[in-house]
Amino acid sequence: MKKVVAFVGSARNRLTHGAVRLFLERLQEQGAVDWEIVGLGECNLGTCRGCKLCFEKGEEFCPLKDDRDALIAKMEAADGVVFATPNYMFQVSALMKIFIDRLGFCGHRPRFFGKTFTSIVGQGIFGGGKIVKYLDFVGACLGFNVVRGSCVTACEPMTEGEARGIETTIARHARRFHKGLQRPAFPVPSLLMLMGFRLGRTKMKIELDMHNRDFRHYAEKGWFESDYFYSVRLGLVRKLVGSLFDRVAARASRNRQADACVAAQGFRGRHI
């Protein structure tokens, strides 16, 4: 049985929670699913202070002691993950953003490969389409296989027409997600994902060293030499384009290092 965990960034039990419950019920109709809803409003999550210790030394050095690791463990134990948020001023809610920031180091060292991700946005009027795209992009950066999310719209009190619209959108979304859960866990990456991997790892290889946790992680995983994050057969086009991305990133990093040296000398000169 597939396990799905949904993280909801609304402190109210209204539109977003309702859409998530409907989504999980519709998903269950497609096949047996074991699910859990986690209300981020009930979790203890600190606000990231930007020290970057998680990037540079390791996540265990984070000064915040909160529910971060317990929530990550829930994702690790799941086959499918949903991030759901209300639209607040054309963005995710603060609850959802705090959660995403706590996962920042997983953006540097992605780990949720083989798992399926999607997003749900609840809103009163408009602007949620871009939030869905943002959340789906976050899911991809964390390593998930992403199924396009959806946005539901309703004012309070909800009209019958709005309720029907939500039902249709969510039923379609649940079917899409169910198909996603059945797809191969380790697909051939899109060119965009391949580009992200190659540019990132080449930059890291040139600009960082063993003192840095990201560097050590990539070295341990063999990601400085591998075709992609996980073992996958790339066709000729992806192999060629992949090595082109490596070369472009290497040149940009070397130029950047040279420029940074000059800038540092100039900066010191102006201030001494």
Ligand X SMILES: Cc1cc2nc3c(=O)[nH]c(=O)nc-3n(C[C@H](O)[C@H](O)[C@H](O)COP(=O)(O)O)c2cc1C
Report yes or no: 170 and 22 within 8 Å, Cβ to Cβ.
yes
Name the minimum Å distance from CB 18 to ligand X: 7
Output 87 or 202, the one with its CB closest to ligand X: 87
Phi, psi of 123 (to 5 degrees): -150, 165
Report yes or no: 5 and 75 within 8 Å, Cβ to Cβ.
yes
Name the minimum Å distance from CB 154 to ligand X: 7
Structure tokens at 246: 């490596």
Report the distance separating Cα 242 and Cα 245, nearest Å.
Answer: 5
Name the minimum Å distance from CB 99 to ligand X: 15
Name the minimum Å distance from CB 213 to ligand X: 36
Output 126 or 186, the one with its CB closest to ligand X: 126
Question: Residue 38 in 3-state DSSP?
Answer: strand
Q: Which of 232, 227, 124 is nearest to 187 (CA)?
A: 232
Name the minimum Å distance from CB 69 to ligand X: 26
For residues 110-121, one letter each, b for 16 or more C-beta atoms within 10 angstroms of the residue's C-beta and e for the rest, the string is bbbeebbbbbbb
Name the minimum Å distance from CB 133 to ligand X: 15
Output 110 or 165, the one with its CB closest to ligand X: 165
- Cα 113 to Cα 151, 161, 202, 205: the distances in Å are 25, 39, 20, 22
Name the minimum Å distance from CB 180 to ligand X: 24
Chain residues in the site for ligand X (CB under 6 A): 10, 12, 14-17, 86-90, 122-127
Phi, psi of 170 (to 5 degrees): -70, -35
Output 61 or 126, the one with its CB closest to ligand X: 126
Name the minimum Å distance from CB 121 to ligand X: 8
Output 111 or 133, the one with its CB closest to ligand X: 133
Cite the DSSP H helix spans in the chain: 15-30, 53-56, 68-76, 94-102, 104-108, 128-141, 160-182, 191-207, 213-221, 236-271
Output 12 or 52, the one with its CB closest to ligand X: 12
Output 93 or 202, the one with its CB closest to ligand X: 93
Output 130 or 216, the one with its CB closest to ligand X: 130
Report the distance separating Cα 241 and Cα 75, nearest Å.
Answer: 32
